[in-house]
Amino acid sequence: MRNKNRDLLNVLHTFDEFNTIIYTIMAVELLTVETFKEKVFNYETSQEWKYNGTNPCVIDFYADWCGPCKMVAPIIEQLKTEYDGKVEFYKIDTEDQVELASIFGIRSIPSILFVPVDGQPQMAAGALPKDSFKQIIKEVLNVEKV
């Protein structure tokens, strides 16, 4: 009986490690000032907006303490899976990345920045429902669901 319990614990431990690995792979990437300048737009070298990515992106400006942000987080994660390979999804912690929040004039959270490959980004404020995200992705980013 002891060996069976030990085996079960080993399986559960392995399963937890597997889930952690999968979550890390699938998790929405947190942007810092440096990664934002690399992946989205380097505002220090250019005055005119020019997106650096090859796929359009959605950036969620949030804070850990924000209730509506917590409601949007699982929607963002679902959309990341649904639009895999067509749209990039990022998050910016406004408490940690104050410079980025300031540059975009973030006054309320969640604020969602939709960035097309060509053209100007558009900001939406508030906890949008999933259908609204899909509509904006279709209309602003010109991307249909995979």
Per-residue confidence (pLDDT) for residue 57, from 0 to 100? 98
- Residue of 31, 57, 69, 92 marked catalytic: 69
Beta bridge partners of 29: 90
Domain layout of the chain by residue ranges? 1-28, 31-139
The CA distance from 115 to 123, in Å, is: 9
Catalytic residue among 58, 59, 66, 141: 66
User: Coil, helix or strand for 22?
Assistant: helix
**Residue 25 has what pLDDT?**
44
The reported pLDDT for the residue numbered 145 is 76
Residue 7: what pLDDT?
58
Both tokens assigned to 109 = 């959270």
Report pTM: 0.81
DSSP secondary structure string for all residues of 46-97: -SS-----SS-EEEEEE-TT-HHHHHHHHHHHHHHHHTTTT-EEEEEETTT-
The set of residues, in sequence order, having a beta carbon less than 8 Å from that of 23 and lying 6+ positions away, is none
What gap in Å lies between CA 50 and CA 129, rounded to an integer? 29
Mean pLDDT of each 10-residue bin along the chain, 146 residues long: 56 47 63 97 94 97 97 96 96 98 96 97 96 97 86
57 is catalytic: no
CATH classification number, 31-139, choose in 3.40.30.10, 1.10.10.10, 3.40.50.300, 1.25.40.20: 3.40.30.10
